Amino acid sequence: MKNIVKYKNDMNKLNFHGLRKNDMNLFMAICSKVKEKGENTVIIDFDYLRKISNYTGHTIDGFLKDLRIMSSKIMAVNCEILNENGGFILFHIFDKFIADPENATLTVKINSDFSWLLNEFTDKIRGYTTFELYEFVGLQSKYAKNLYRILKQWRTTGEFTFNSIDDFRLKLDVPETYTNKKMTQKVIKPAITEIQELDKSFKNFKCEPLYLHKRGKPLAGYKFTWTPESRENQKNLEQNNKSSIENKKSQNSFANFHQREYDYESLEKELLKIKSAEIN
């Protein structure tokens, strides 16, 4: 089953400053598991989380440390949504974030007041970003990851323009000490190369620097273009993911056999219980 990350476009307005590559992988992996779960508490197995986030550390202590660092950074993110009347709302994404090494599980609950960020997706409401988790975690630099998720909001449009260099630096979390020349060498070129090498997304991916029409032609922004994704293909991907989840739930409801170990005598007892319940 493909793990799909899906969230309202408001998430792309948040400034995920200081997140490392592993932090971003873990965060998006968690988002893929709590999406469309409403305000329910979700329990994620450590091994499963490590696998889907492409986590390469070997020790449980190291994994716990990285989970703690990531969660602390996410809690410190400036989560702010501006209202049309000029007001604003500040909030934290998670209401609950519990790492349990004894049971090797992570328990997560989205902020109940803002659960809509990872819910309420319908064909009529298109204001959301969606992508396959394996593509995201496969990108090696945090700059490529940030650029990827932002451009995925415009996946079916085929172009997006950063009209401000300051906005580009902020959204991609580029160090303030980087000159435009160094940013081109260390951020733009490597990120473009990584995204161009993807198998599915951003076919014919190109970047055009934009300059102001005045002396010295200072850099004004960047325009990114690619072959637009088909809405039908995107819909099929999401539908296949939904069907896989429903099939898994159906399997889980049958006595939960695949999650527990039985000997023959215990198995026979469980089957007799089910048969007796069906007769009654």
Whether the CA torsion 46, 47, 52, 58 is positive or negative: it is positive
Please tell me which residue, 217 or 68, carries the higher pLDDT value.
Answer: 68
Provide the 3-class DSSP secondary structure of residue 131. strand
**Per-residue H/E/C for 149-218:** HHHHHHCCCCEEEECCHHHHHHHHCCCCCCCHHHHHHHHHHHHHHHHHCCCCCCCCCEEEEEECCCCCCC
What's residue 6's pLDDT? 95
* Helix or strand run (H / E) with residue 22: helix 21-34
Q: What is the mean pLDDT of residues 56-81?
A: 87
Contact 128, 121 (CB under 8 A): yes
What's residue 267's pLDDT? 45
Please tell me which residue, 238 or 134, carries the higher pLDDT value.
Answer: 134
Q: Would you list the domain boundaries of the chain?
A: 1-138
Q: What is the mean pLDDT of residues 76-101?
A: 80
Determine the Cα–Cα distance for residues 32 and 174; give it in Å rounded to an integer: 26
The DSSP 8-state label assigned to residue 85 in this structure reads T
pLDDT in tens, 7-52: 999 889 888 889 999 999 999 999 999 999 988 999 999 999 999 9
What's residue 236's pLDDT? 58
What's residue 93's pLDDT? 87
**What tokens were used for 223?**
């325009």
Q: Enter the pTM of the model.
A: 0.80
What's residue 241's pLDDT? 54
**What tokens were used for 143?**
């700059």
Provide the 3-class DSSP secondary structure of residue 117. helix
pLDDT band at 103 (very low <50, low <70, confident <90, very high): very high
Per CATH, the number for 1-138 is 1.10.10.10
pLDDT at 251 over 50: no
pLDDT in tens, 178-209: 999 999 999 999 999 999 999 999 999 999 99
